[in-house]
Amino acid sequence: MAHIVVVGAGIGGLPAAYELRHLLGRSHRITLISDKAEFTFIPSLPWVGLGLRSVAETQLNVGELVASRGIDWKLGNISHLDPYRQQLIFAGCAIDYDYIVLATGASLALDAVPGLGPEGGYTQSVCNPHHAELACEAWNKFLDRPGPLLVGAVPGASCMGPAYEFALLADWVLRKKGLRDRVPITFITPEPYAGHLGIGGMANSGKLVTELLAQKDIELIENAAITEITSHTVRLADNRRFAFNYAMFLPPFQGAKFLRDAPGLTNANGLVPILPTYQHPNFPSVYSLGVTVQLPPPETTPIPMGVPKTGQMTEAMGMAVAHNIARQLGEIKAPPVTPTLEAICMADFGDTGIIFIADPVLPDPKTGKRKRAIAKRGIWVSWIKTAFELYFMAKLRWGSAVPWFERVALRVLGLSLVKPLPNAPKISKFAS
């Protein structure tokens, strides 16, 4: 019997635990550990930050979801991980594992810029549910005393979609409330150009985003490095200063502290290196997925940026990890797989939206090209994002990671979550 521990119950960890339970016989034990009692649909948090949705509407209780599904559930913090001994320390007790899946999600590097963040700083964030609630509280106060609004990201940030969503949703909300003429909005981004998204080569995304910001009378500051934030001012590396009454800036992501503290496990930012199977190159018992994975940027930008890891990418990583562990345990006879890393980002702007598709997010290393790079605008994007949130929450209630009809729908769209690895080495069956 093998013991597989999944750390993190978010968009990656919870579906990965479901898929492992689906693929593995009941003789194998699966333990799900998270420091949060609720699953949160993170893509909905810009709505929460602007008072368009409550946090409760984006959450499900993890304990209730897994109670009858043959998955052990532990709520609390991991204080130490020893990949050499294949052991972690949880609530003061040692837990041994045969395989561990690291799906911890984003830990925010709020010390990247002085004054960044809602706790100990002067800006808001919508990267986790607590911060989204704080952002909403600050937003409601801001509506009573409107003034300059700054939105964007600091150097090292990765997924830019929520920043664009927040700026354009804020514009939409303020217009509905009759306050837009009292709120100048400025978007400050480390991207070389708006719509670059940290990956470049995204068809007409630059034109679409730039035109939309201009139509909404949002000032755009590109290729900008924020170096300091005070109570009402943001300073850039070129010494330009921007005043604000409200500011929301995305921070860089890093690995959780217990990962950063584990010798030889991560890079300097706490991100986990991976093989194509999403195993650690030095610790075969360690798999990782989602934000915590180290991916090389497809191109170097003047101001450093991270590689975005969208929900679909994270799901695909989880499916690949579950498949490859089941293969190692001899439960399935199939070649190992790797995630396709086809990235879909749906950004809702209230009265319109933009869908970005990068297939794959990392271009072919030989040609520098993607199979597809699409950016489309329309109100239908907002409808699709809302529908997808409802669907994703429903399938977690069903206890299914990727139902058969979702796989069929992806094939119809010419998309897939995983693909076989060519010339993969044979891996012997786990010895219990």
- C-alpha radius of gyration, the chain, whole number: 21
CB atoms within 10 A of CB 42: 22
Catalytic residue among 93, 127, 136, 345: 345
Phi and psi at residue 225, to the nearest 5°: -110, 110
CA-CA distance, 156 to 184, in Å (whole number)? Answer: 26
CB atoms within 10 A of CB 292: 28
3-state SS string over 196-228? Answer: CCCCCCCCCHHHHHHHHHHHCCEEEECCCCEEE
Name the strand (E) or helix (H) holding 34: strand 29-34
CA-CA distance, 411 to 415, in Å (whole number)? Answer: 5
Alpha helices in 1-145 (DSSP H): 13-23, 45-49, 62-66, 129-144
CB contact set of 240 (below 8 Å; sequence gap of 6+): 221
Phi and psi at residue 290, to the nearest 5°: 80, -150
Are 368 and 200 in contact by the 8 Å Cβ rule? The answer is no
Catalytic residue among 93, 127, 136, 159: 159
Residue with tokens 């204080």: 79
Question: What DSSP designation does 124 have?
Answer: B
3-state SS string over 252-313? Answer: CEECCHHHHCCCCCCCCCCCECCCCCCECCCCCCEEECHHHECCCCCCCCCCCCCCCCCHHH
CB atoms within 10 A of CB 191: 25
- ∠ Cα 191 197 203 (to 5°): 110
- To the nearest 5 percent, what fractions of the chain are helix, strand and coil? 30, 25, 45
Residue with tokens 């043959």: 70
Tell me if residue 345 is catalytic. Answer: yes
Tell me if residue 159 is catalytic. Answer: yes
Are 147 and 218 in contact by the 8 Å Cβ rule? The answer is no
Are 335 and 33 in contact by the 8 Å Cβ rule? The answer is no
Q: Provide the annotated active-site residues.
A: 159, 345
